[in-house]
Amino acid sequence: MLQAAIIVGLSVWMYNEYMSNSYLRTYLASLLQGAGSIVAVMSLGGLIAIVLVGILLKAGSVLGDIEHLSEKVEDHADVTHARPDAWPMPVLKVVEPEPADEISRLHSSLRRWNKRSK
């Protein structure tokens, strides 16, 4: 939070300096005159790369969650509403995910202990 406040403060200061200092405006205009299109293309490429990496990380996270939440169970023959001409459907059983860290493991063992003591 402090870092964001510092960045915003420096950005506001730089904007005010740019608006009031004609020498800074001239310097930046001459600096970016030839490199403006390169900066624009690289910025767009960087933005696309960041979005793609975010999508891939999110997809990997979702797939990992799905893998831990369900496991395939053998077909059950005691289905009451099954049509005889239908293909047998696998049944998925929802399971709790494995704890990721020490606090989660402790919490899950306390929940199991609480269930057993009732």
Domain boundaries, the chain: 46-75+88-117
Q: For residue 74, name the pLDDT band (cuts at 50, 70, 90).
A: very low
* pLDDT given at position 31: 76
Once rounded to an integer, what is the mean pLDDT over residues 70-80?
48
What lies within 8 Å, CB to CB, of 3 at 6+ separation is: none
- Residue-level pLDDT at 16: 92
pLDDT of amino acid 70:
53
Q: Are 73 and 90 contacting, i.e. CB atoms less than 8 angstroms apart?
A: yes
92 three-class SS: strand
Residues 72/90, Cβ–Cβ less than 8 Å: yes
Average pLDDT on 19-40 reads 80
Query: So what's the pLDDT on residue 55?
Result: 84
pLDDT at residue 76 in the model = 45
- What's the sign of the alpha-carbon dihedral 92, 94, 95, 99? positive
Q: Global pTM?
A: 0.31
Q: Which residues are paired to 94 by β-bridges?
A: 70
